[in-house]
Structure 1
Amino acid sequence: MSEDLEWNAPVGSWASSAARRRNMQAIRSRDTKPEILIRRLVHAQGLRYRVSARPISDLRRTADMVFRPAKVAVFIDGCYWHGCPEHYVPPRTNPGYWSEKVLRNVQRDRDTDQRLKDAGWLALRFWEHEPSEICAQHIAATIAERRSGSRKP
């Protein structure tokens, strides 16, 4: 028999079927195509950074790129998971759960930005649909500005 016909959700599982569970497990939390492309472009400009690192050790959240000396944390946010105003489409399956999940993600993003700001860091956020070249240019310009000592509060 196929796995779908014998689906028994693990205790506490939110997955509605074996197929849904496999689909959700396949979604990457790091090293997405937009992240990799932006990292390559930034690296090609001679900038070095940490990947998927905590900007602040006591903050249990990771940034996609961390520039420690300049105190800049870069996040490449997925349109669905972070509620992009242009591309987010509410789910049709289990809408209560997923809409709440996305709302919590957005709230956590704002909290992360504030905590970084309070610690003297700058959080740069880009949507996955933004042109990678423009994102990389903005990152490089921000790092250059902060390294030169002309930091904006």
Structure 2
Amino acid sequence: MVYRISPENVRPPRGGPSGALAIVVVIGLALGIWLLAGRDPGSSTFSSVDDPGRSDARAPDDPVSGLPYVAPIDLPARVAEVLRDVDAGGELPAGVSRRPFLNGAGLLPVQRTTGYYSQYALGAGSLLVAGAGGERYYSDDDGASFSRIGP
């Protein structure tokens, strides 16, 4: 019996890097970037962890809501104006309306009473939310995230 080897039955020789080598290269590259970034995922590449010119000081988060604080002085002028009017119980500026804020996404502390929060839409994605207990929240991204207005 004679066996013939035809070109269709012969495997071509394998060439190029193996999958294991590619994985090692990717892991090595990721490790190198991590080391250059100062081992801090939030730092920029080529920055030093002990950089004396870098200040990480910021106000602590609100213990009740867990949201970061924003000082009233750091708010845009229009937001600060509406905040003063809301706190004083005065007339709202033209184009600003008050309506209930339902907190459907649960970004603010959950309250048992319906209508606890009031929303003031200020345009350009800015929201001011006031709680019945005196707490105030600000969003500059149309309610996707909030900051607690405070100290």
TM-score (norm 1): 0.22
Higher helix share: 1
Higher strand share: 2
> Which gives a bigger RCO, structure 1 or 2 (Cα 8 Å, sep 6+)?
1
Flag the structure with larger Rg.
2
TM-score (norm 2): 0.22
